[in-house]
A and B are shown apart, each in its own frame.
Chain A
């Protein structure tokens, strides 16, 4: 056991994992975090707490992670390379661990250009690959990046993201292999809509023996509306939304588009459950946390297994 986190235990026991996501508020209201946590509790194994998502300032990810812990949820603390240098990152990791955080997701981060402070100085002192390596070194060797000793090393379950759809496609599996070499324990993918392409990706990962070395959680985001689908297709970098999805949503009866979106998501989840190399699902119900219980139930993900 590398960290002893609930997520690690679930995956190691061979259960099909189910993680959720919680976006911290753009203010100081802890109640908002508690309310969202309430919808997720009992329905997911761990919940990603986003870090200044889309480069917009929000409550610190570690702080919202702590509130999640108080509410009985296990956080997956996200950290982006955009906003801090290697000193701040390692300091935050120590603090996060000291306060009970056991999972971490290492990300480059969206470019600040998209956010509410487009003129900010991007840090990117180290990249996501190097952050994975840093956390692994801290955990397994008990050393900082500099080589100095850590007294009580943080035992963190290390995650990273993978986008199977961004070009160059063949390189995506290599990049996954690089993240594994850097020391990642689990991967959560970008939202998947193009199932065909994802099947290819996972087949390549299987062939290269990668799925034996890392737990891959397939990313799912239910579409709420046709507008959202079009936006994802045209405006979100690295997103691949096939026309059939949009057609299916458009074909839904009036007032039933969201229902259709959830139905598509659940069908995807059913397929992931049977897909070799997929160890679970990461559900990103963006600002739709209250729908998680319904989706979890409909997708046959409940009750969540208990492991010790």
Chain B
């Protein structure tokens, strides 16, 4: 899932400075699962904003509305009848959701209340770890299912570098060395030949905006 974290409160406060009536739009998908931007988080943030602005003698009218998926037109339509009542929209969705919101209502400022952080997994309640940078050419097949792009601090394809130490990465003893893990796993599977050959320089497909159209599907409808 996509993991995001709430922006520092002061930053949010300065983003919405000057607006008197705003709608905070949550998202019920990834950001709700990672406890950042679902219904509950929307009401918590709204209460904080309300209180802070009262203390500043600058009251604000702030409503909340959480939709199923902000990165999906179908669900966004639920907002069409409401948005014009507000001066600005605050969004607690991931970057994709926020942009989709901004695109649908181009006449209204849309402001992010979260920092979209990574594609990751849930390790424990409230604890998430990055696992993929959507690099567009997945190498997990020959790296024992461990992603060197994400988990190696240098994103090496021919590691481990000289900094690996007793299984830790040079950046932090608490951070396991991805290449140490790759080696260990492949050794257990008797597949060390996977990393004996030289991996060629990566074709960084994620350097341009990427588009995917599944075979058999036409280009999606032109946006308004």
Contact = CB atoms under 8 A, between A and B. Distances in A.
Contact of A86 (B153, B183, B201): B201
B155 interface: yes
28 contacts: A108-B162, A111-B154, A111-B170, A114-B170, A114-B171, A124-B154, A124-B155, A126-B201, A126-B202, A127-B156, A127-B157, A127-B158, A128-B161, A130-B201, A134-B201, A163-B162, A166-B165, A167-B166, A167-B180, A168-B160, A171-B183, A175-B158, A178-B158, A237-B162, A237-B163, A237-B164, A238-B162, A238-B165
Interface of A: 81-82, 86, 108-111, 113-114, 122, 124-130, 133-134, 145, 161-163, 166-168, 171, 174-175, 177-178, 181-182, 190, 237-239
Given A111-B171, A114-B170, 15 more contacts: A86-B201, A113-B171, A122-B155, A124-B156, A127-B156, A128-B161, A129-B158, A166-B160, A174-B196, A178-B158, A178-B196, A178-B198, A190-B162, A238-B163, A238-B165
A214 B70 CA distance: 58
A82 B201 CA distance: 14
B154 A82 contact: yes
B159 interface: yes
B84 interface: no
Contacts of B180: 167-168
Most chain A CB within 10 A, of B153, B167, B170, B202, is at: B170
A127 B153 CA distance: 12
B83 to A, nearest CB: 36
B184 to A, nearest CB: 7
B200 A127 contact: no
B192 to A, nearest CB: 8
B196 to A, nearest CB: 7
Most chain A CB within 10 A, of B153, B154, B204, is at: B154
B165 A237 contact: yes
A86 B200 CA distance: 13
B118 to A, nearest CB: 16
Contacts of A171: 160, 183
Interface in B38-69: none
B165 A167 contact: yes
B204 A125 contact: yes
